Amino acid sequence: MSVSYCCCRNLGKAIKALHLHLRRSGSSSLYRRIQSEHLSFSSAMADLKSTFLNVYSVLKSDLLHDPAFEFTDESRLWVERMLDYNVRGGKLNRGLSVVDSFKLLKEGKDLTEQEVFLSCALGWCIEWLQAYFLVLDDIMDNSVTRRGQPCWFRVPQVGMVAINDGILLRNHIHRILKKHFREMPYYVDLVDLFNEVEMQTACGQMIDLITTFEGEKDLSKYSLSIHRRIVQYKTAYYSFYLPVACALLMAGENLENHIDVKNVLVDMGIYFQVQDDYLDCFADPETLGKIGTDIEDFKCSWLVVKALERCSEEQTKILYENYGKPDPSNVAKVKDLYKELDLEGVFMEYESKSYEKLTGVIEAHQSKAIQAVLKSFLAKIYKRQK
């Protein structure tokens, strides 16, 4: 039974549970709004994403009425706009994967109303974490667009206020965890998990930023081992391991017993980032939702590392002279070199071998439920276009 089907069937119950939660949590204005809009099984989109977005509304209302801060109308409107722009705007794959993974771990059993809400809430914590990272990452990279719209710091009147918004996003995660999970036996493990993954991701970003300092552009420092280390910490832990770890904790599992699962998910995350590096250069920006800037930003991209391995002496000179320069003519020369080296073909071969290797490891796992979780993740990213 698919997760979407199960959640469709239970959506009426889930919405009633949301109504009850809203009454108990004091979010009366949102509760009245939902009532007035006749949000019910017959009128709501009966699928997992609809339920997931309903939970976002609950969490946002909680945060906009957090008793720890005395909001003014202006500050509440600012935070609401910031959340809708940065948290809701993505594909939501990481967050939805928590619900998906938890359902698969339950091996076909229907989720209770509380489990629907809590798994969605944990999924949103990951989406909040993602938003926090992206808001600050775009500033550090001086990026132009994100998800098909201007980066948050480039929105008029936002600017460097975005730094503080990023800090707010980070703090919201622990407000959500405290409000909804502090009575759960796995609460401390959840807090530790989010703290550890945040630290690992920040360290990955640090490695990425300091591998070559601004003004010290030296391609000789780039290698596959450096690339793997950056990706492991910057992307793999929070994008792949964290959703499954959240689901495992909800299922009553001890994470120390699932190191093998973590290792597979890290390898999957590395494959995902190699895809990302490839798409940054070769994908249509409209399809991708952003303008790739890895070449201009002198990023330790999988493409440039593979290029360095394959370049002749003359080609290496071209790469050194043009990589990391913002002028479109320099960028074009690098892209022409990538095509000359057939890096598209090299990537296709890498993708095929990675899929075969990951599939083999997954199918060797003793737990059919965990196999299903890992196969679900792999299916979502294999041959993706954005």
- Report the sign of the C-alpha dihedral through residues 88, 89, 95, 97, in that order: positive
pLDDT of residue 166: 98
pLDDT of residue 345: 96
Contact 194, 125 (CB under 8 A): yes
pLDDT of residue 89: 83
* pLDDT of residue 32 exceeding 80: no
Give mean pLDDT, residues 142-156.
91
The region of weakest confidence among 1-10, 88-97, 166-175 is 1-10
Q: Where in the chain is the domain with CATH 1.10.600.10?
A: 40-183, 186-385
In the chain, pLDDT over 70 holds for what percent of residues? 88
DSSP 110: P
The residue among 275, 118, 265 whose CA lies nearest residue 184 is 118
pLDDT of residue 23: 46
CATH classification number, 40-183, choose in 3.30.565.10, 1.10.600.10, 3.40.50.1000, 2.40.50.140: 1.10.600.10
pLDDT of residue 44: 31
The region of weakest confidence among 9-18, 84-93, 192-201, 347-356 is 9-18
pLDDT, tens only, 162-177: 999 999 999 999 999 9
In the chain, pLDDT over 90 holds for what percent of residues? 73
Give mean pLDDT, residues 193-213.
92
* pLDDT of residue 286 exceeding 80: no
Give mean pLDDT, residues 215-236.
91
The residue among 131, 194, 192 whose CA lies nearest residue 167 is 131
pLDDT, tens only, 125-144: 999 999 999 999 999 988 88
φ, ψ at 359 (rounded to 5°): -60, -40
Which residues face 149 on adjacent strands? 146
How far is C-alpha 133 from the geometric centre of its chain's CA atoms? 9
* pLDDT of residue 232 exceeding 70: yes
pTM for the structure as a whole: 0.83
The region of weakest confidence among 38-42, 84-88, 179-183, 353-357 is 38-42
Strands (E), the chain: 145-146, 149-150
Which residues face 146 on adjacent strands? 149
| Greater model confidence, 367 or 144 | 367
Give mean pLDDT, residues 269-285.
91
Average pLDDT, the chain: 88
- Residue 360's pLDDT band (cuts 50, 70, 90): very high
pLDDT of residue 38: 34
pLDDT, tens only, 320-334: 999 999 999 999 999
pLDDT of residue 215: 64
pLDDT of residue 97: 95
CB count within 10 Å of CB 57 equals 17
For residues 181 and 188, give the distance between their C-alpha atoms in angstroms, rounded to a whole number.
9
pLDDT of residue 285: 78
pLDDT of residue 9: 42
CATH architecture of 186-385: Orthogonal Bundle (1.10)
- Residue 2's pLDDT band (cuts 50, 70, 90): very low
Q: Which long-range contacts (CB under 8 A, 24 or more apart) does 327-331 make?
A: 330/295, 331/295, 331/296
For residues 219 and 318, give the distance between their C-alpha atoms in angstroms, rounded to a whole number.
12
pLDDT of residue 45: 32
The residue among 293, 196, 238, 258 whose CA lies nearest residue 93 is 238
The two structure tokens encoding residue 175: 């407000």
